[in-house]
Amino acid sequence: MAEILLQHVREAHARIRGCVHRTPVLTSRRLDEISGAHLFFKCENFQKTGAFKARGAANAVLSLGDDEAARGVATHSSGNHAAALSWAAGMRGIGATVVMPRTASPVKIASVERYGGKIVFCEPTHRAREEAADKVVRETGAVLVHPYNDARIIAGAGTAALELLEDVPDLDMVICPVGGGGLLSGTAIAAKGLRPAIRVLAGEPKGAADASASLKAGVRQPVEKPSSVADGLLAFVGDLTFAVIQRHVDAIGTVPDAAIMAALRRLFEVMKIAVEPSGAVAYAALAEGRFDAAGRRVGIILSGGNLDLERTLG
């Protein structure tokens, strides 16, 4: 597999910019005071389908040749990639079949249904998801669009950091969440490509800290039973995404669920925006002091906003 480069992120951006939002970069004087740094929040919670996943899904679907596209697409996802792929497929007028864990958030299930995706439920394990998706592909001939371990998805995800650095070129560091590593690897490729001196950092839930452990060990380290309120970050980092993370990512900080929820609440109360637990993990890692950010200009990717009010806060 050829290396994924800044050029691929630029091509993805040209491909998708007409159909995704250029999301705003928000600042807050009060959050700057609390953190002692200058924070620039890239609001992918306002993205189409409510998460950055629309970028990679649109890039993947728009990259397909007509013959491939005619077969439809399939994937497995805890929710946001499922909705995004259903949305992107709908734009192109092709079918999408998505394997989702039966424990997926009702809000995310409803979203997939609204975008016209066909859902196949499975047990909430990594293996069950992969197997069910393979079965769909075998039976339907659909093109598998993996939720993160896919060059098209990585390049698409990197377009958020591309826009952030266009808007705020002089960042000292950029932080995003890491689950399977699609957003982190895309962010790293875009950010280091545009600004080699930038530090690329990630927040990861303590209960699903395989990326952090893998980065330390130098080889992928699965976590037996990942568990976190950040339901979008339970996936196991991929071989493709891990190679990029090893090469470009400076550090990954882990945070407990309580810190994730505190971050979510603070973003809500101070910035008046809805960010889902997975989407608040980068800010949580900063707020917990995982990185030396004092006085720095820090980009933070708020990756999604598909919050289930009752379930999360009730």
Residue-wise DSSP of 218-242: TS----SS---S-GGG-SPPPHHHH
Is the Cβ of residue 67 or residue 310 nearer to a copy of itself in the bound state? 310
- Contact yes or no for 265/277 (Cβ under 8 A): no
Residue type, 222: P
What one-character DSSP code corresponds to residue 314? -
Work out whether 107 is an interface residue with a copy of itself (CB under 8 A).
Answer: yes
133-192: contacts with a copy of itself (CB under 8 A): none
Cα separation values, 9 from 23, 55, 150, 187, 193, Å: 17, 11, 13, 9, 10
Secondary structure (3-state) at 31:
helix
In the numeric block, which tokens belong to residue 240? 């493709």
Taking CB under 8 A as the binding criterion, the range among 76-84, 135-143, 191-199, 262-270 that sits at the site for a copy of itself is 262-270
β-bridge partners, 74: 97, 144
257 binding a copy of itself? (CB under 8 A): no
Q: Is 53 a catalytic residue?
A: yes
DSSP single-letter state for residue 123: -
Q: Residue 27 Cβ, how far from a copy of itself at the closest point, in Å?
A: 11
When asked if residue 252 is in the footprint of a copy of itself (CB under 8 A), the reply is no
Pairing mode, strands 173-177 and 297-302 = parallel
Binding piece for a copy of itself, criterion CB under 8 A, among 129-137, 160-168, 201-209, 271-279: 271-279
268 binds a copy of itself (CB under 8 A): yes
Give the shortest CB-46-to-a copy of itself separation in angstroms: 6
For residue 287, state whether it binds a copy of itself (rule: CB under 8 A): no
How many Cβ atoms from other residues are within 10 Å of residue 67's Cβ?
7
25-26 and 38-43: which strand pairing? Answer: antiparallel
Q: How far is the CB of 57 from a copy of itself (least distance, A)?
A: 17
What does DSSP assign to residue 287? H
Piece of 55-63, 162-170, 179-187, 305-313 that binds a copy of itself (CB under 8 A) = 305-313
Please choose, out of 53-61, 81-89, 95-103, 265-273, the segment that lies near a copy of itself by the rule CB under 8 A: 265-273
Q: Is 216 annotated in the active site?
A: no
Q: What's CA 117's distance to the chain center, in Å?
A: 20
Q: Choose between 151 and 280: whose C-beta lies nearer to a copy of itself.
A: 280
Q: Residue 203: count other Cβ atoms within 10 Å of its Cβ.
A: 33
Strand-pair category, 118-122 with 173-177: unpaired
Binding residues among 29-68 for a copy of itself as defined by CB under 8 A: 45-46, 50
Find the shortest distance in angstroms from Cβ 55 to a copy of itself.
16
Query: Taking CB under 8 A as the rule, does residue 18 contact a copy of itself?
Result: no
Angle of helix 80-92 versus helix 106-114 axis, rounded to 10 = 10
Which listed residue (24, 106, 169, 289) binds a copy of itself by CB under 8 A? 24
Q: How far, in Å, CA of 218 to CA of 22, rounded?
A: 35
| Per annotation, catalytic residue among 35, 63, 78, 228 | 78
Binding flag, residue 91, a copy of itself (CB under 8 A): no
Catalytic-role residue among 48, 53, 108, 192: 53
Query: In this chain, which stretch among 133-141, 206-214, 284-292, 306-314 interacts with a copy of itself, using CB under 8 A?
Result: 306-314
Catalytically active residues are 53, 78
- Applying CB under 8 A, the residues found at the interface with a copy of itself are 24, 45-46, 50, 107, 265, 268-269, 272-275, 305, 307, 309-310, 313-314
